[in-house]
Every structure is written in C-alpha cells, then in structure tokens.
Structure 1
Amino acid sequence: MNSKIITKFTIATQQGMDALLYLTQTIAREIFLPLLPQEQVENYLSGNFNEKALMVEVNSMSNQWLVVYANDKPAGFARITSKGERPKVIAQKRVIRIADFGIIKEYTDPAIRQSLFDKCLSVCKPYEAIWINEYVENPFISLFESEGFTKQDGKSKLDKLPLQSVCLIKFLS
C-alpha cells in the first residue's frame, strides 16, 4: 500500500487537539485494555488524556508533540519532554525523553513508524542522551533497540499505571 506519510509538530489548534485526543485515547485502549481492567484504563484516560489535561500538556514548554499522518489521517503520535525522573546514569547530562510513542494498530506500514521515530530523533539531536521508559511488552522496544537504545538494568514502574517497565537510553554525544 502506497501512502502519503508526513510527521509534523502539533499545537493546540482544534485540529491538533482533535487528532491528539483521538490518538491518545485509541492507542491507550489498544495497548492497555489487554493488560489492565477496563475501569483502570478509563480512569487513566479521563485523568490524563481529557481535553483540558491534554491542552495543558500541549501548551507546556516542557513538551513537544508530534503526529504522523498517513494519507492525511492521524496514525500515531509521540511526546518528547524534559519531564520525568531521569535515570541515575544520565542525571548530570543534557537529556530529553521520548515519553509517548504510539501508532494505531491498523497502520502497519513500517514507513509510518519510521517517519515518527526519525522526527523524534531529529528533535532530540541537540541533547547528550535520549531516554525512554516503556511497559515491558511494548512492541516498539525492538525498534528502539535497533536504533541504538540500550536497556538499563533494574526494574521500573510506568508513570501513573501499575505496569512493569523498562528504561532505554541512547547516548548521542
């Protein structure tokens, strides 16, 4: 399937917010409903990805939001942020975090995933390292590792969800 793929920054316009609300809700349900009780997932969504909370996060100077479009339809998103508890190994470095990275399951074209990931890397270039904290079953962990991220020892917990996670770091300089 040949699709037109573009990844771009998203701001707090109606179109940008509509795309992010759709993507965050859809992707979180696809990921977490098989792993957690529905009520817990819905509480997580209503607390973190409602219109008001998302507007605050999109307008935060700590975050940059990216949306990948396939044939002008939102297919996935990423949030790059300076927020979060840094791993000790990079605590004294200039680092950035890919805090969210997701693509709706129906979009299986690897070029979609690669477009979003490449845009993330270009945004992160000025930093010394990038870190990711993701749930252990995340299917994108193999992508991150193939792109030079290494799993860190030790167990972590996901922000706001009771799932075991893994921390991955990529050193840039």
Structure 2
Amino acid sequence: MEIITKFIIATEQGRGIVATLAKEIAAEKFASLVEPQQLEDYIEKKFNDKNLIAEMNSMSNQWLVVYVGDTPAGYAYITSNGRKPKNQEEARMMRIADFGILEKYNDTTVRLSLLEKCLAISKSYNGLWVHEYKENPLIAFFESEGFVMQNEVYQHEELPLPSIFLTRNNL
C-alpha cells in the first residue's frame, strides 16, 4: 500500500481532514491519562473550526497529513512558534507542535514518512524541537531518529501532564 505525506491547506476539506484526525488521535493519546471532561475541553479548544482556520492560515505554521492509500492516517503541525528548550533559546529552530498517527496505522513506515517531511521543512533551520507529554510512546521513535531528550520537565501546554523537550540539530 502506498504511503505518502502531503502538505494540507485551510480549505474546508483540509480543515475537516485535520480536525477529524486530530480529535481521534487526541482521544487515543489522552483518554487514559486525563479526565473525560478535560479531554473534551482540550479537543474543543484546540481543534474547533475557528482555531484551525487561524492556525492553518498562519505563515509561521505548516500542516502535513500522511496517507495510507487514500486514507488520512496521521498529521503533523510544524511551527516556528512556541517555548523552546532553554539551551536552544537563541537557535533558529522549527517546532513539531503536534505529531500523531491513528493507532491502526502507527507503524515505522508511516511515522518515517511524516517525520521525513518535517525534517525537509526544517532543513534551512538549526534544528527541530518537540515538546511532548513525558509518557508519549512516540518519544522512543523520535530518539531513534536523532532527537535528544533535554533535562527540562514542564507541564504540557494544555493538559495537566508532565512534558519534556526533545531536540534534533541539523548538521
């Protein structure tokens, strides 16, 4: 089956694809970690149509969708905004603000397709950083692809979960 990652824009169809993926992936990621109402509030705040239009139309952001065949299987949200790790505050870096793949498609080939496009976007920068909740199973994947966990622990930006930074410098 063909696996391809494409840029997606803020058309009605594009927003619909991202919203559907984001809501399903957030539910899979966080359902066992936070209270149901917290999860519902998080999804509504972060992935409502108004917020998605603003985020998808921002010149600082790029959105990617990975397809397995014709089926959207995951997405990534890349931005130059956000709190950087302390040791990278002066570096010119891009951030993987969100990276997720539906559980039924979550295999190495799909993850790599999505990550490779993220890396291609960031080539003209000093590197990439990720700010993720500490227990995210994707952390091992990021580390296997050259990301290094930083010695900073914070709270997730929107949920009451401990989070960490991972960085990868471009050579």
User: Paired residue for 1:104?
Assistant: 102
CA deviation after TM superposition for structure 1 residue 156, in Å:
1.3
Contact 2:85–2:152 (8 Å) recurs in 1: no
User: Paired residue for 2:134?
Assistant: 136
Task: Work out the percentage of aligned pairs sharing the same amino acid.
Answer: 49
Q: Tell me, in whole angstroms, the C-alpha distance in 2 between the residues paired with 1:99 and 1:159.
A: 10
Q: Tell me, in whole angstroms, the C-alpha distance in 2 between the residues paired with 1:147 and 1:113.
A: 11
Name structure 2 gaps, 5 residues minimum. none
CA deviation after TM superposition for structure 1 residue 109, in Å:
3.4
CA deviation after TM superposition for structure 1 residue 86, in Å:
1.3
Q: Tell me, in whole angstroms, the C-alpha distance in 1 between the residues paired with 2:127 and 2:107.
A: 28
TM-score by length of 2: 0.97
CA deviation after TM superposition for structure 1 residue 20, in Å:
0.2
Q: 2:115 aligns with which of 105, 114, 117?
A: 117
1:16-55 to 2 correspondence within 5 Å? 16-55=14-53
Moved over 4 A (4+): none
How many residue pairs match? The answer is 171
Task: Name the amino acid aligned to 1:103.
Answer: I
CA deviation after TM superposition for structure 1 residue 72, in Å:
0.8
Q: Tell me, in whole angstroms, the C-alpha distance in 2 between the residues paired with 1:153 and 1:88.
A: 10
Name structure 1 gaps, 5 residues minimum. none
What is the CA deviation profile of residues 32-58 of structure 1, one whole-angstrom value per residue up to 9, with x for unaligned ones?
Answer: 111000100000111110111111110
Task: Name the amino acid aligned to 2:73.
Answer: A
CA deviation after TM superposition for structure 1 residue 154, in Å:
2.4
Contact 1:90–1:129 (8 Å) recurs in 2: no
What RMSD, in angstroms, separates the aligned Cα atoms of the two structures?
Answer: 0.9
TM-score by length of 1: 0.96
Deviates more, 1:106-115 or 1:21-30: 106-115
What is the CA deviation profile of residues 126-162 of structure 1, one whole-angstrom value per residue up to 9, with x for unaligned ones?
Answer: 1112111101111111111111111111211111111
Q: Secondary structure at the match of 1:125?
A: coil
Q: Tell me, in whole angstroms, the C-alpha distance in 1 between the residues paired with 2:164 and 2:91.
A: 20
User: Paired residue for 1:80?
Assistant: 78
